[in-house]
Amino acid sequence: MAKAIRIYNTLSRTIEPFTPLHENRVGMYVCGPTVYNYLHLGNCRTFSSFDIVFRYLIYAGYQVRYVRNITDAGHLEGDRDEGDDKFAKRAKLEKLEPMEIVQKYTQYFHDVMQAFNCLPPSIEPTATGHIIEQIEMTKLLLEKGWAYEVDGTIYFDVEKYSKENSYGILSNRNLNDLLDGTRELSGQDEKQGRLDFALWIKAKPEHLMQWPSPWGNGFPGWHIECSAMSQKYLGNEFDIHGGGMDLIATHHTNEIAQNCACNGVSPARVWMHTNMLTVNGVRMSKSAGNGFLPNELFSGSHPLLEKGYSPMSVRFFMLQSHYRSTLDFSNEALQAAEKGYARLMNAIKLIDNLKTEGDNASYIQSLTDKCEAAMNEDFNTPIAISHLFEGVTFINNVNDGREKISASDKIAIKKLFHDFVFDILGLKMESEQGNDKLDGLMQILLAQRADAKARKDFAASDLLRDQLLALGITIKDGKEGATYNL
Ligand SMILES: [Zn+2]
């Protein structure tokens, strides 16, 4: 049953039956974060969504190799290789080495992933750890005539590629449409075509992150890293490639072009993309001032938030929307999710103590079938959750003496909730307090943080918050002072 999985493929724009290339094994690549700044919530949604895919494929009996990269070099501000290097710019701003920036924000990323209870991927390769592979791939593209060099920078020739291949296959757009969406080349541009993109970029002498190459010192372009690393760990062809939908038009389009030009085959069979976030119906973005960070959501410190929400309430909230739908944040929706999550956890706590009698053994099996059917249909978490809540009502009714549960159904419902709530949806029990000593210690730390805030020493209060987050402890700021979640 669980193996009858169907997935929406961006490439075909339809829901297709999922059949892996190799029986019982799945290779999945997801574009990871660019670690030059605090991870934003859109990324959290994307990685939580693919965490669900990873978990469900494992539940379905597949052996999954899940590769999610860390972009720690070579990402310029513009997706088409324009503007400053994101790491160099941030390093200058924070007066740190670029690799200190990488270390700091990789750590933050891992802390947030842990707070959201996302499983680590099987392999987490970095761009800086695969410079040789990226140079080799660039060399091959030059040799095959798909790329050209201009003064130490190597560009991919999109126009030439388009003569034999469909460059806009993923976004379903033809070359003229794509050309219309890009700016005209100016006299200062080195590249020959407007859609051409850099595989290798010549570094200025003062650029800190640079490596020797056959074309002089430089650094890789952003798109080549994912082509090189997916090929290295998953082969020329693999099953699933994923990321946020903002990657379709350029990054993933260029990845397909690079891999096809090198190997003659498209890298992934299924392309999956997560939708964007909105806040009170408005697209979440830095410029709109509504782009709160995970920490701000946990602590409630953003002006748009009435209070803080625990990581598991937020995870539950995110799972209540399908990954291909927009996810709208509002105080009402978050508070409803917080209550829903608590109701789910309370029901699970009741299961062990339910009194058994009678025999209605078919009910839980049908509920399990419905949960599996929902997940089989393109990982539909909101529908699976609605079926789980039928189970919650049933548990509460049995507990109140309004319904009966047989011994075998009690075992089955415990397994259903364990499998779906903990293993597949990746939710876990959160406790508001630890033991007395720990609670005492936390009150001291919270008082110190309140003190630092009163002194306007926000660096100290943020540091304390981040260090606690690294331990999996989140702070919630509320009207009556701060509280914590373990
Ligand atoms: Zn990528």
Distance (Å) from CA 235 to ligand 1 centroid: 16
- Ligand 1 center to 241 CA (angstroms): 9
pLDDT the model gives residue 440:
74
The count of other CB atoms within 10 Å of the CB of residue 444 is 9
181 CA distance to ligand 1 centroid (A)?
21
Average pLDDT of span 408-431:
94
Sheet holding 268-274, edge to edge: 63-68, 25-30, 238-244, 268-274
Contact 242, 272 (CB under 8 A): yes
Residue 57, amino acid: L
At 418, the pLDDT band (50, 70, 90 cuts) reads very high
Query: Residue 10 — left, alpha, or beta (φ > 0 → left; ψ -120 to 50 → alpha)?
Result: alpha
- Between the CA of 215 and the centroid of ligand 1 the distance, in Å, is 24
Q: What are the distances in angstroms from CA 3 to CA 18, 58, 266, 388?
A: 9, 10, 25, 20
Q: Is residue 2 predicted with pLDDT exceeding 70?
A: no
Q: What is the pTM of this model?
A: 0.88
Task: Return the structure tokens found at 269.
Answer: 């069979």
- How far away, in angstroms, is 31 Cα from ligand 1 center? 4
Q: How far apart (Å, rounded) are the C-alpha atoms in residues 485 and 298?
A: 9
pLDDT band at 183 (very low <50, low <70, confident <90, very high): confident
Minimum mean pLDDT among 57-61, 365-369, 462-466: which range?
A: 462-466
Helices then strands, counting H and E runs in the chain, come out as 16, 17
Residue 213 CA to ligand 1 centre (angstroms): 22
CA of 242 to the centre of ligand 1 (A): 9
Q: What is the pLDDT of residue 1?
A: 52
Q: What is the mean pLDDT of residues 95-110?
A: 92
Reported as a single tens digit per residue, the pLDDT across 20-34 is 999 999 999 999 999
| Ligand 1 centroid from CA 252, angstroms | 7
CATH 1.20.950 for domain 286-424? no
Residue 203 Cα to chain centre, angstroms: 30
* % of the chain beyond a pLDDT of 90: 69
Given 3.40.50.620, 1.10.3470.10, 3.40.50.1110, 1.20.140.10, which CATH number is that of 6-274? 3.40.50.620
Question: In this model, does residue 439 exceed pLDDT 60?
Answer: yes
Q: What is the DSSP letter of 403?
A: S
pLDDT of residue 360: 63
Weakest-pLDDT range from 92-101, 173-182, 461-470: 173-182
Mean pLDDT across 371-376: 98
**pLDDT tens-digit map of 468-483:** 888 778 888 877 778 8
How many angstroms separate the CA atoms of 176 and 157, rounded? 15
Cα of 227 vs centre of ligand 1, distance in Å, is: 8
With 70 as the cut, is the pLDDT of residue 435 above it? Answer: no
Q: What is the reported pLDDT for 466?
A: 86
Residue spans per domain, the chain: 6-274, 286-424, 436-485
Average pLDDT over residues 143-161: 96
**pLDDT of the residue at 68:** 98
What share of the chain in percent tops pLDDT 70? Answer: 96
| Cβ-Cβ contacts under 8 Å for 201 (sequence gap 6 or more) | 74, 76, 81, 153, 218, 219, 220, 221
Pick from 4-13, 35-44, 172-181, 447-456 the range whose average pLDDT is largest: 4-13
Taking the centre of ligand 1 as the mean of its atom positions, its distance from the CA of residue 372, in whole angstroms, is 30
Angle made by CA atoms 6, 44, 377, in degrees to the nearest 5:
15
Using 50, 70 and 90 to split pLDDT, how confident is the model at 79? low
Chain-wide mean pLDDT for the chain? 91
Ligand 1 mean position, distance from CA 243 (Å):
8
Q: Is the pLDDT of residue 169 over 80?
A: yes
3-state secondary structure of 154: strand
Integer angstrom CA distances of residue 168 from 177, 237, 255, 273, 401 = 9, 19, 11, 16, 60
State mean pLDDT over 9-16. Answer: 97
